Structure 1
Amino acid sequence: MTTDVREAPGHQAVGHPLSRWTLAALTVGTMVGGGVFSLPGEFARSTGVVGAAIAWTLAGAGMLTLAVVFQQLSERRPDLGAGVYAYARAGFGRYAGFLSMIGYWAVAVLGNVVYWTLVMSTIGEWVPAFEGGSTVAAVAVSSAGLWFFHVLIARGVRSATAVNRVVTVAKLVPLLVFVVIVGIAFDPAVFAGNLFSDLRGGSVPAQLSGTIAVTVFVFIGVEGANTYSRYARRRRDVGWATITGFLSVLVLFVLVAMIGYGVLPMAAIAELDQPSVAGVLTHVVGEWGAVLVAAGLLVSVLGAYLAWSLMAAEVVVNAAREGDMPAWFARENARRAPVGALVLTNVTVQVFLLLALLAEDAFDAAVSLTTSMVLVPYLLSAGFAVKQALAARREAGPRWAGLLTVSLLAVAYTAFLFYGAGPQYVLMSAVIYAPATILFVIARRARRERALAPGEVAVCGLVLAMAVAAVALLATGVIEVG
């Protein structure tokens, strides 16, 4: 029997429910942002063809388990409509839900920093003052753009789904053109010469460590259809859109990352400025290739930026309404724009844009930190799926063994990513979680409720200890970011 999401508990009826193709476009649109345009250079700096093939196999299999987890949770718990925040909160308590929310919000914030860096770096091909994306001029223009979008959203631009429908096609066109043209120019001899890396050296596992952050970063948004699941025409459409969108994007990402190995030596690709897709295409067709990629990237990044800004605000609003963030952050203006959450989000983006001036490589630093921040929401969601599978077993529910297997694999994959992301970025993520906890305490005290349960106090203590360690190690130069 088909389940109509409008009849599911905890879901609002909608006048124009989303079709499975619209949901799939949302999944594709949230994953295909600026990161895909950097794939050739990011991979060439880390490994050769063999290492890249292994990396994509591991990343594809691991992210597929997470995609299935989100698919299953959307079907089994239609009452939970706030995605990773709701899953963590229902499975492990209010503080866990708060940490998941802050992690996901920080992903959107840091992702938007990456977007501005890419935009400025792209323009830097023609305007030297913006070269690299993190110069004083680039940060100044990025800041102006940041607050322009703030005003735009505050004036009532709310439809992330509409934005994604428009930009998804626009962003895919230059990427598909890239794949076709570079595919035609593909030279098997050049490809064979790039089979093994001679840049980083070391074993294949050592080379793969350089690809982990970027593979996770480009797949962030696999839960896109899940985020909008309450608007789905049929519940089963959410799962179909999640898996279809993920597999489509996986094929595209692999082609974009791998095909450049067939036209340029690995060392040459590694030296390309971001977005490296432009450099590869320019080598094949000349300067118009860079112009095409630049136009596609700007549309893609600015569209994704607007969508992720709305999603960042939405997750904060949900937490504020549930009493896990101060009530002010749920405030809306006369046009029903979430101005409280927008101010928090964009002030934080501004701070990170200024910090980008101090990073040797602002793009890589933001990608690595973004990857570390998304791991907590993903791990807690996978853990909640494990609990759901065990509950289904006790209730003699169908397919519990399959859900349990996939959920455990998702937990294992996410735990592995904590190791692969690099200890400095895992520690740095605590520097965001620890001070953010003050907001949780303020919100709980405002409701005259206990801030932290006994078990949550221990978790909070661990987060604080990690944050202190990170600051100390940064101050002494033991670890570096960027």
Structure 2
Amino acid sequence: MASSSNEANQELSRNALIALVIGSMVGSGIFALPAAFGRATGAFGAIIAWIIAGTGMLMLALVFQSLSQRKPELDAGIYAYAKAGFGDYIGFASAAGYWIGCCLADVACLILIKATLGQFFPIFGDGTTPTAIASATLLLWSVHFVVLRGIRGAARLNTIATFAKIVPILLFIVVAAFVLDRELLVQNFWGTEPPSIRQVLSQVRSTMLLTVFVFVGVEGASVYSRYARNRADIGIATVVGFLSVLCLLVLVTLLSYGVLPRNELADLSTPSMAGVMETMVGRWGSVFISLALLISILGNYLSWSLLAAEILHSAAMHHTMPSFLARENANKVPVGALWLTNCVIQAFLLVSWFAEYAFTLALKMTSAMTLIPYVLVAAYGLKLASTGETYYAGERARTTDWIRAAVATLYAAAMIYAGGPKFLLLSSILYAPGTLLFLMAKRERKESTFTRTEAILFAAVAIAAGGGVYGLAVGALSI
């Protein structure tokens, strides 16, 4: 009886699920948008970029919504959908890739927290000094023990952090709308002199990977589907969370073009939103946004910690990861998965001490690692709509779902292509050794390791990993 009561206490409401989605998506990226877009394009190019990215990611969000309704038995969707659609090893690769991406995102959060503090306290430097690494380690394990007390308590903290970081962003939008210089917005419209469609399209391409990173986390509610109080809330939370964040991203980007000339936006230091705010209201605005950034990253870090442990635990529950990762404590927290996740984050954090561009690499690798699971989810939605599984004869929703899934699949695949072969090779370096967890799970169940197709796929991953290591060794690949 006590166990049943405790399990009920871990259930998440619709608002908590929405906060998980928003909290996972709104991190450091939104605070860097003014300068990032200012360096890449003008207002017109930004509009095109957000239309493309918004459409692609909205289709993906709608695929998540549809799958949550048509396959309610599949928990931790981003992993379970890949396994159900394409087999054990593909499912494992989706889980492992997403999990490693979450770990890298947490490392980026820890480094940026200390780098932001470094602007006020030089001892933290760029976030990778010995003091910064030591304090980041303390924060890492403090959050670890908070999460061990229960998912619902951690989700409640995430909800509080989400509201705390949204308020400053909304204030920025209100102030920017009030002081907007329409003539300056017109001057920044094309981002090139003379106006050239070809130049604008080139500028748009340079923003694509940035838009991917700020949308990562849209799957938050789906990953936590087993905790949902009502299954219908999963799809609603995904779409509502996505649309809310999209509005914030577009407004922050476009309004900034009406505050400063494009060249001045491009020269702003991180977080560039602080520089825009300082232009509008004075020095206190910069300090205010910097504090908001710290809160935002802390909330984002907590969201990624929750997602990383949950995806690993779910894969273990479905026998695709070793059984020790399925172990839970008395509070229904996936304790085995949480310990492994934070040990990996700790290892990445120590390595960052020696890396020259640790923060930038962590951001780019996060996008690269999560795009592959996104493609697999969209492709599974496309597969269901194509075969008619879960649809009754003549159901109109089948055509609609096929179109949405096709657009989402093409979008995610195009983003992988836009990233280039470099990040596929670097991702393979992480996928290949991670396969040891898959081998351990298969040995536990006394099953044959790979099917013929899976063996060919693993061989390709191993070859790519070898190529990546060789490329790093000879300097053909740089990080």
Judge same fold: TM > 0.5, yes or no: yes
> Which range moved further: 409-418 or 421-430?
421-430
- Structure 1: stretches of 5+ with no match in the other structure: 1-11
CA separation in 1, counterparts of 2:131 and 2:260? 32
**Shift of residue 150, structure 1, vs aligned partner:** 2.4
CA separation in 2, counterparts of 1:86 and 1:397? 27
Selected match of 1:71 from 56, 65, 88: 65
**Shift of residue 22, structure 1, vs aligned partner:** 4.0
CA separation in 1, counterparts of 2:279 and 2:129? 26
Give 1:465's aligned residue. Answer: 463
- Asked whether 1:316 is paired with 2:304, we answer no
Give 1:4's aligned residue. Answer: none
**Shift of residue 160, structure 1, vs aligned partner:** 4.0
- Asked whether 1:373 is paired with 2:373, we answer no
Selected match of 1:171 from 165, 180, 201: 165
Deviations 1:45-103 (A, max 9, x none): 22222221111110001001101100000000001012111000100011111011011
SS, match of residue 262 in structure 1: coil
Give 1:447's aligned residue. Answer: 445
Give 2:95's aligned residue. Answer: 101
**Shift of residue 163, structure 1, vs aligned partner:** 2.5
CA separation in 2, counterparts of 1:337 and 1:407? 33
- Asked whether 1:392 is paired with 2:388, we answer yes
Superposed counterparts of 1:171-320, under 5 Å? 171-197=165-191, 203-232=199-228, 234-320=230-316
Superposed counterparts of 1:126-165, under 5 Å? 126-156=120-150, 159-165=153-159
Cα 1:205/1:423, change in 2 over 3 Å: farther
CA separation in 2, counterparts of 1:136 and 1:367? 21
Cα pair 1:185 1:263 within 8 Å, conserved: yes
Cα 1:46/1:130, change in 2 over 3 Å: farther
CA separation in 1, counterparts of 2:52 and 2:330? 48
CA separation in 2, counterparts of 1:245 and 1:54? 22
Selected match of 1:35 from 29, 38, 48: 29
CA separation in 1, counterparts of 2:466 and 2:220? 34
- 1:313 counterpart letter in structure 2: A
Cα pair 2:118 2:127 within 8 Å, conserved: yes
**Shift of residue 19, structure 1, vs aligned partner:** 4.8
SS, match of residue 132 in structure 1: coil
- Structure 2: stretches of 5+ with no match in the other structure: 1-5
SS, match of residue 464 in structure 1: helix
CA separation in 2, counterparts of 1:424 and 1:176? 37
Cα 1:323/1:23, change in 2 over 3 Å: closer
Give 1:3's aligned residue. Answer: none
Cα 1:106/1:382, change in 2 over 3 Å: same
- Asked whether 1:62 is paired with 2:49, we answer no
Cα pair 1:194 1:266 within 8 Å, conserved: yes
Cα pair 2:316 2:326 within 8 Å, conserved: yes
> Which range moved further: 319-328 or 386-395?
386-395
**Shift of residue 333, structure 1, vs aligned partner:** 4.4
- 1:371 counterpart letter in structure 2: S
CA separation in 2, counterparts of 1:209 and 1:464? 30
Cα 1:255/1:73, change in 2 over 3 Å: same
Deviations 1:238-288 (A, max 9, x none): 333322221121111111122222222223222322222112112222221
**Shift of residue 290, structure 1, vs aligned partner:** 2.2
CA separation in 1, counterparts of 2:360 and 2:339? 26
Cα pair 2:165 2:296 within 8 Å, conserved: yes
Cα pair 1:117 1:363 within 8 Å, conserved: yes
CA separation in 2, counterparts of 1:261 and 1:357? 36
TM-score (norm 2): 0.91
- Asked whether 1:414 is paired with 2:412, we answer yes
CA separation in 2, counterparts of 1:256 and 1:355? 34
Cα 1:331/1:18, change in 2 over 3 Å: closer
Deviations 1:423-472 (A, max 9, x none): 21122111111110111112201221111111100111111111111111
CA separation in 2, counterparts of 1:236 and 1:334? 28
Cα 1:213/1:465, change in 2 over 3 Å: same
Give 2:45's aligned residue. Answer: 51
User: Which runs of 4 or more aligned residues in structure 1 lie more than 6 Å from their structure 2 counterparts after TM superposition?
Assistant: none
Cα pair 2:76 2:226 within 8 Å, conserved: no
Deviations 1:152-188 (A, max 9, x none): 3345565443223212211100101111112222222
Report the aligned-residue RMSD.
2.5
Cα pair 1:59 1:216 within 8 Å, conserved: yes
CA separation in 2, counterparts of 1:360 and 1:259? 33
Superposed counterparts of 1:311-350, under 5 Å? 311-333=307-329, 336-350=332-346
- 1:412 counterpart letter in structure 2: L
Cα pair 1:118 1:275 within 8 Å, conserved: no
Cα 1:59/1:298, change in 2 over 3 Å: same
Cα pair 1:214 1:367 within 8 Å, conserved: no
CA separation in 2, counterparts of 1:327 and 1:234? 28
> Which range moved further: 462-471 or 256-265?
256-265
CA separation in 2, counterparts of 1:186 and 1:242? 32
- Asked whether 1:92 is paired with 2:89, we answer no
CA separation in 2, counterparts of 1:272 and 1:62? 29
CA separation in 1, counterparts of 2:441 and 2:10? 35
Cα pair 2:76 2:225 within 8 Å, conserved: no
Identical-pair percentage? 45
CA separation in 2, counterparts of 1:298 and 1:414? 30
- 2:393 counterpart letter in structure 1: A
Cα pair 2:147 2:154 within 8 Å, conserved: no
Selected match of 1:351 from 337, 341, 347: 347
**Shift of residue 235, structure 1, vs aligned partner:** 4.1
**Shift of residue 215, structure 1, vs aligned partner:** 0.9
SS, match of residue 121 in structure 1: helix
- 1:307 counterpart letter in structure 2: S
How many residue pairs were aligned? 469
**Shift of residue 119, structure 1, vs aligned partner:** 1.1
CA separation in 2, counterparts of 1:211 and 1:362? 21
TM-score (norm 1): 0.90
**Shift of residue 364, structure 1, vs aligned partner:** 2.6
Cα pair 1:158 1:337 within 8 Å, conserved: no
> Which range moved further: 447-456 or 361-370?
361-370
